[in-house]
Amino acid sequence: MQTCQVLLPPTPINALSSPVTRSPERATDTILESVGVNGMTANIILYKSLEVLALVLGATSALLIPRLPAWGQGAETTPLNLQSLYPPAGDWLLPATPSLDSPQSSYSAEGLKGEGLERGISQQRPNPPIQPQRPELETIEEQLDEEPDFAIVPLPRYSSIKGIHGTLDLILTNLGENDHTLDLRLEGGERTIGATLRYTDPWLESGAFDPGYQVRLFNTRSPESQFLEGDREVNLIHDHEAWVDRLGGSFTFYQPVTPSGVVVSAGASYQRVAIRNSAFTDRLYASDRLGNPLTFSEQGLDTIVTLNLGLFQDRRNSSEWPTQGYRFQLATEQSIPVGSADILFNRLSASFTQFVPFQNQTFVFNLQGGTIFGDVPPYQAFNLGGSDSVRGYKDGEIGTGQSYIQGTVEYRFPLIEDLDLPYSSALSGTVFGDFASDLGSGDSVYGEPGEVRNKPGNGFGLGLGVRLLTDFGPVRLEFAVSDQRDLSAIFKIGERF
């Protein structure tokens, strides 16, 4: 959920920080995130064991990958999750926490998985495997005859960036004749405060080729990972952390174009981005304590207006518990120079995930990447590391770059296929390996936040975990070790891919 205009009222603009000379060559749910532990003897043994396992999985994937395009296509009708198309003010295929947790980009097609909104475009797949399904996903058509429903969902959370915090979701569904949805998320805690408001037309009752749309408003304030982590701590003057204040909104229109589920999207967005030193302040900062710029504007307040295009196809046999098929996403985001910052860039991102069935097990292969042409504001750069990037690292700990590439190999196997527990129906295990690199582009980001904090720029992680299918979506409990021999534990709700 995302997008709300109120929770934080508009603040006066006080130019506080010292002037920063602009370089002439400016080129361009999460409950527990990660708990780092210094590696010791036992950690090293685990690290080496997982490394050997990753080599075995890598050799297996090398044998299987030539056949990937042919797997998982063809005859069951499975509803797609609208949220996997257009999350609120979240990252667009960024290797970072999606949704309200990390609104680094004004346009996104990744990250709203597992919140229960469905769209009525169906896909044809032959001979799908029998697998557990969430009860509320089995007969979506029945929702159209229901009266409007109201739900309140509180949820405690923890992350290395925001600390202990919580969200409160207020959801109104079954509005109008086409099951429109209005939802508001409020967030507050140790190091975060914000709200998002979203109105969605999921075209449930419409034909397969009828369009839909989503309107979002948001205001969030919290530290973000591009200005944290790394071997060197660099904060604002008086050692305050940099808080990124984002206020804005967007409109996205999406149109199905083929019977196989290809969807084209177009929209526009607005963001006012300010750097502050806490949640409740009107003070602005344009640079850190070392004089490195944090915004393009010398006042510490940037305006970003973008036009957005996207292409999406989901051929998975399930949005909650996929075992075969693929998912492809491509998006571009073109800024329009406005305001004193005069920021001009084009952001291009893509991701492809293949689910390969092998008896009653599944291999998952994901490859994604992106680049930014033109100006690269530090708060819009690609952040690498974390529970949705390279597990074993904290959010943004690997690097902050103008470009990136990231890959994952994951092996999933059933533990209990018919779980007789309240609100739960299946349990599986997973072994995985993640890798990401900023391709040496950290010094191309304005202010070089990754370079000044001595982030490595590339890294990999190995790990294992369990996945529980519940009425609220898949729940992940994972343990990972990085190539720096640090351990992390991850507890999240939602399918990663």
For every one of its 497 residues, what pLDDT tens digit does the chain have, with 9 covering 90 and above? Answer: 333 333 333 333 333 333 333 443 333 333 333 334 444 444 444 444 444 444 444 444 334 333 333 333 333 323 333 333 333 333 332 333 223 333 343 333 333 333 332 333 333 333 333 333 333 333 344 444 567 788 998 888 888 888 889 999 999 988 876 678 999 999 999 899 999 999 998 765 556 778 889 999 999 999 999 999 888 999 998 889 999 999 999 999 989 998 888 999 999 999 999 999 999 999 999 999 999 999 999 999 999 999 999 999 999 998 889 999 999 999 999 999 987 778 999 999 999 999 999 999 999 999 999 999 999 999 999 999 998 899 999 999 999 999 999 999 999 999 998 888 888 889 999 999 999 999 999 999 999 999 999 999 999 999 999 999 998 789 999 999 999 999 999 988 888 88
What pTM was computed for the model? 0.72
**Is-contact 255 206, C-beta < 8 A?**
no
Residues with Cβ < 8 Å from 350, sequence gap 6 or more?
A: 93, 329, 330, 331, 368, 369, 370
- Of 347, 47, 104, the closest CA to residue 225 belongs to 104
**Is-contact 165 192, C-beta < 8 A?**
yes
Helix (H, G, I), strand (E, B) or coil at 48: helix
Q: What is the pLDDT of residue 203?
A: 66
Within 10 A of 313 (CB to CB), how many other CB atoms are there? 18
The region, left, alpha or beta by phi > 0 then psi within -120 to 50, assigned to residue 148 is: beta
Q: What is the pLDDT of residue 148?
A: 79
Written as six digits, the tokens of 209 are: 């080729």
Q: What is the pLDDT of residue 316?
A: 93
Within 10 A of 296 (CB to CB), how many other CB atoms are there? 26
Residues with Cβ < 8 Å from 98, sequence gap 6 or more?
A: 87, 90, 91, 108, 110, 111, 112, 388
Q: What is the pLDDT of residue 473?
A: 84
Q: What is the pLDDT of residue 159?
A: 82
**Is-contact 265 307, C-beta < 8 A?**
no
Backbone angles phi, psi at 74, to 5 degrees: 120, -45
Instruction: Give CA separation, 352 vs 2, 8, 313, 319, in Å.
Output: 25, 37, 10, 15
**Is-contact 87 269, C-beta < 8 A?**
no
**Is-contact 28 376, C-beta < 8 A?**
yes
Q: Strand 283-284 vs strand 14-15: parallel, antiparallel, or unpaired?
A: parallel
Written as six digits, the tokens of 388 are: 């949705």
Q: What is the pLDDT of residue 243?
A: 95
The burial of 138, by beta-carbon neighbours within 10 Å (0-12 exposed, 13-18 middle, 19 or more buried), is given as exposed
Q: What angle do CA 211, 217, 219 make, to 5 degrees?
A: 155
Written as six digits, the tokens of 68 are: 């990937």
- Of 399, 362, 360, 357, the closest CA to residue 382 belongs to 399
Q: What is the pLDDT of residue 356?
A: 97
Q: What is the pLDDT of residue 472?
A: 79
Q: What is the pLDDT of residue 146?
A: 65
